[in-house]
Amino acid sequence: MLEVIDASRRYEVAGRTVLALDGVTQRFPVGTITAIVGRSGCGKTTLLRLLAGLAEPSSGAVRRAPAAGIGVVFQEARLMPWLDAAANVAFPLKGRLGRAEIDARVDEALALVGLADARRALPAQLSGGMAQRVAIARALAQRPDVLLLDEPFSALDAFTRRTLQRVLVDVWQARRPTVVLVTHDVEEAVLLGESVLELEAGRVVGRVAVDLPFPREATDPAVVELRRRILARLVGEPHSDPRRKPCT
């Protein structure tokens, strides 16, 4: 179970109150992939942080299964600079699994993201895209029940991005975690999501079911049409509501 119930989140910024999330109620069914899209600064990351337990709602509630393991990938890699790639991937597993199981998971995860040969590289020796792939491997190695992804592929080149999008689908189909993906890329949302949640000014303004089989291709006419429809709504005039402050 993963859901938010009438959840709002307010911040104090330069002496004023900013409403980043405004009364959102959404359930993310077990074993599904939900993509979240919307204008920059309109609550997507705030919603993901509430789901991860990294922030608490100012009002409303967040519900998670008590025993659910949660993996998070941020926009930045957030690697520990004194640990090599393999040790960064292994770090969340220490104390939970035996050495042999940790080594096997690290090897598998690094191979999935195409970094099997970089296991001994320190973060300073990695490009930004490689570091982000290590961060993705770190989350995958945990085999979480819930996988929360905040723009995980934005720092990658187009070829690597498409490869890791396919890896994400393969992992999801094999293990069926509940996946919530925040992305600015509407095409990516349609390629990966079973549903696409549209946010605007801290509120959910639409939800689109993507009833297309995997794997999906960007050139598929059905993908192109869904992308066009979602984009048309998102780039239209913002919904005005005098009660709401601008989100950040």
pLDDT tens-digit readout, 155-187: 889 999 999 999 999 999 999 999 999 999 999
Q: Which of 191, 187, 196, 185 is nearest to 215 (CA)?
A: 191
Q: What is the pTM of this model?
A: 0.90
The Cα diameter of the chain in Å comes to 58
Strands (E), the chain: 2-13, 16-27, 33-38, 59-64, 70-73, 146-150, 178-182, 195-200, 203-209
Quote the percentage of the chain above a pLDDT of 90. 77
Q: 126 and 136 in contact (C-beta within 8 Å)?
A: no
137 by Cβ neighbours in 10 Å (0-12 / 13-18 / 19+) ranks as buried
- In the structure encoding, which two tokens stand for residue 8, read together? 């709002």
Q: Which CATH architecture has domain 1-69+144-248?
A: 3-Layer(aba) Sandwich (3.40)
* Whether pLDDT at 246 is above 60: no
- Give per-residue pLDDT as tens, 97-135: 999 999 999 999 999 999 999 999 999 999 989 999 999
pLDDT above 90 for 37: yes
Q: Residue ranges of the domains in the chain? A: 1-69+144-248, 80-143
- For the segment 62-69, the average pLDDT, to the nearest whole number, is 84
On the 0-12 / 13-18 / 19+ scale of CB atoms within 10 A, 182 is: buried
Identify whether the C-beta of residue 117 lies closer than 8 Å to the C-beta of residue 147: no
CA angle 89, 96, 92 (to 5 degrees): 25
Asked whether 234 and 8 are in contact (CB, 8 A), the reply is: no
Q: Give the pair of three-digit tokens for residue 29.
A: 């069914």
The Cα 235–Cα 86 span in angstroms is 42
- CB of 9 within 8 A of CB of 50? yes
The whole-number pLDDT of residue 39 equals 86
**Cβ neighbours around 56 below 10 Å, total:** 12
CA neighbours within 13 Å on the CB side: how many for 168?
30
